[in-house]
Structure 1
Amino acid sequence: MELYLIGLWETVRDFIGTGGNVLYLVAVALLIMWIVMVERYWYILGVFPREREQIIKNWNAREDKTSWYAHRIREAWISEASSNLTARMLLLKTTIAICPLIGLFGTVTGMISVFEIMAVQGTGNPRLMAGGISMATIPTMSGMVAALSGMFFVQRLDVRVAREKSKLIDSMPHH
């Protein structure tokens, strides 16, 4: 197992070596994105159902459900639950949007290194130029893959948040 992990680390290190140090930034953005995504799924699937049941229990325990004050209390509870459901979703979407931009930054730095090689060596060494172009394209691909890996799950998370909010509203009838 330890030998496998060492081999895996060397593979990752070689990949970062071919794509440049910008890939560390992509990795950090990807790590943040997935930590927040796992936290959101944990909250929606594990924590929120208990909170929803408590809100519904509090609403059903109220004797007055028709007055203006009762409606405001209901709206406040729904608003607070909605805020808890959508917490950190903006951070998640921003991180997904930043990943391709970080990759593009890697492309620019890679192309600058190609131009530096051309300035020093001339255009007669295609092998050196190919290495720089490779270093320019790998961060772009990595940023796009990182963003795409999160987009699917964020879309599903958005649908789940909307469904949970709708279920809560439906469970608290106001007569």
Structure 2
Amino acid sequence: MPRQLAFFEDIRNFLYSGGDVLWPILLVSICLWCLIIERLIFFQQNYPQLKANCLADWEQREDKNSSYALFIRRELISQGLLQMNRGVAIIKVLIALCPLLGLLGTVTGMIHVFDVMAVTGTGNARAMATGVSQATIPTMAGMVIAITGLYFSKLIEERVSDESHHLADLLKYH
């Protein structure tokens, strides 16, 4: 039990050492990872049923070669694509927001450094180091979250593309 408490204590210390901007970065990262995990679970659990429903709707049609059938096929593919892409735009926005929040942390940390320099002069290196630390930690946190989020965002986008092409292949238009 003390190991878990030490872990949470380290997280708390990290959040306080990076200044106030790390808290919004934490909130954005929690939202981002909830959305990414939701999309991964969707493809694992919900998408197979969605694909089966689209295929069943198409297979029960007798007419598969008229222009009306083509519109129905496109509509089924579009419905699947809408379901697969749900939340992807928000994921991209959150990924773009992380480095911007990190930059905000850099600016606020540097303002702290300049305040220390204005009050104590350039001789107090310890006080200046605190401000520099507050300037670099949010930048690092924002970049790490954005880079890992980009990987999973690209993974989800590729899965959407692959599955939409696969769905289009399954719905044969004669």
TM-score > 0.5 by shorter chain: yes
Alignment of 1:1-175 (within 5 A): 1=1, 3-175=2-174
- Overall identity of the aligned pairs, in %: 41
Amino acid at match of 2:20: N
User: Deviation digits for residues 126-172 of structure 1, max 9, x if unmatched?
Assistant: 11111111111111011001111111111111111111101100000
User: Deviation digits for residues 43-101 of structure 1, max 9, x if unmatched?
Assistant: 11210111111111111111011112111111111111111111110100110111011
Q: Which secondary structure state, in structure 1, belongs to the residue aligned with residue 109 of structure 2? A: helix
Q: How many residues align?
A: 174
Q: Which secondary structure state, in structure 2, belongs to the residue aligned with residue 174 of structure 1? A: coil
Q: TM-score when scaled to structure 2?
A: 0.97
User: Deviation digits for residues 22-61 of structure 1, max 9, x if unmatched?
Assistant: 1111111110110000100111121011111111111111
Gaps of 5+ in 2: none
Amino acid at match of 1:118: M
Q: CA deviation at 1:4?
A: 2.2
Aligned-residue CA RMSD in angstroms? Answer: 0.9
Distance 1:64 1:17 in 2: 65
Gaps of 5+ in 1: none
Distance 1:159 1:143 in 2: 24
Amino acid at match of 2:48: P
Q: TM-score when scaled to structure 1?
A: 0.96
Distance 1:135 1:82 in 2: 43
